[in-house]
Structure 1
Amino acid sequence: MIPTLLKHEAIRTRGLLAVIAGAAVAVVGLGALLVIADWPGLSPLGLVVAIGAIAALAPVVQFALAVDYWRSSYRTTGFLTHALPIRGGTVYAAKAIWAVLMTLAALVLSAALIAVLHSANAVASGQDANPFTALARLLDDLATAVPAWMLVAGPLLVVALYAGWTLQLLLAASVGSEEPLNRRGAGGPVIVFALLYVATQALSLLGLAVIRYGIGASGDGIGVVPINVFDPAAADAAIMPLGFIPGILLLSAFAVWRTARSWNRRVSLV
């Protein structure tokens, strides 16, 4: 049943996703052309705008799909969705899987657009425009300085964090559409999202207090090093704390459970 629902989600949202992807490609393409043209004033502006479009692509996809999820599940068309002879949790699973997959697809497209922008910048500066050459050089440098497990864990962590943020947006849409918050319309999900933000900050602070380690310079390379983020002396340290990660992952797992429960037991349409 989930494959059928995924196909339905793909058909239903393909127009929205195509518009977002097309806009990003167009903006980055124009920015790349301006960079190659090497016009004073316009070329740096094109580079900045293109970088902004790449950075915004995945969050825009997440937000757009969350709004679509809310509208198709709890507004006018929600009656049709909940009329399906399928357990609510199954419908949610399909919608969540699709939203996460499209978030990851946005990350892949972002990487491709970064390669395009890199090539444009290389052409403008007279360097090798092959992005794979630059990627190979980067990987060689990383392999020298970064442990193998970290090279694997890093991308997996990025995927987990982006997927978690998507799931939290869906949680906000669902819980914000329960009684009595649904009487506030779009305000319900906004309130829940604000509460989620506060919970994320609280869990992150707790994690930073308990897990006092981070990623930073260690010997001749990069490794796990101790850090106390509450020590003023650590403010200038070039270390990425690890303590915030468990809280976000736990909150994402809670989001899956709580949203599925909402679909199965607490649906309320207005």
Structure 2
Amino acid sequence: MSREDRENFLKVLRNVRVPDGYASNISRCVRLKDRTISGLKSHDSHILMQQLLPIALRKSLPDKVVRPLVEISAFFRGICSTKLSQEDMDRLQGDVCITLCKLEQIFPPGVFTSMVHLVVHLVRECRLGGPVQYRWMYPAERSLGNFKNNVRNKAAPEGCIAEGYIATELITFCSRYLNNAPTFHNRPQRNPDGSKGAGTRVTMNRLIMHQIHRYIVFNSEEFHNLRTMHKDALRRSCTRGRITEALIEAQHHEQFCEWYRTPR
């Protein structure tokens, strides 16, 4: 990356706002002055690789470099999904092999260590162990970190952890009866409604409503049969002359919203 591309990449990460509990404040780990990223936790690195890299890299690297990186991010999103089918795992296994071959054409051989090679075997691990969220160690590591913070006397760490755990449970139980006092359970979210501060009232105009409506209609499974019926009707009505699938798709996107409202 050039200096300008690196600054644009870091600015995207600096302006990221995520819901509470989704990840830590990644923007605090970005150093724009030094153009570096430091202090990321393991789960933050996972979120960066899985969700943020495809967005932040689009304008910072050439397309031939971005595409394999986006594909590897999509692979990790696929194996970390809540539901896995045999068809999806077969597709992911084939895609990751091709993606790694693309990466070998871009990066030097020193990048491809044994850890990079292990990516090929992650799909087989999902076949044997099931979905990842039932097996990964992020919740356990977070709990162990909380236990470690309770240690005040290094000569008796187990006792410190036990006393700290009991004290936390007692305080949590008592805070349930404090209606007017701010506690962990009733405090407001850090980013309510996806905004940077207090919630704001937004009035959507007709154009935005139309775009939302079209997005729902063209991306919902409930409309799949209707979309197929409309495309078939377009093909039957365009028997004269030479018709292409591109023209069918264009007419489908233009006319479908009005077509399915019409009684049949």
Q: Compute the TM-score of the two structures, normalised by the length of structure 1.
A: 0.22
Question: Which of these two proteins has the greater Rg computed from alpha carbons?
Answer: 2
Of structures 1 and 2, the one scoring higher in RCO (CA 8 A, sep 6+) is 1
Q: Normalized per residue, which structure has more helix?
A: 1
Q: Compute the TM-score of the two structures, normalised by the length of structure 2.
A: 0.22
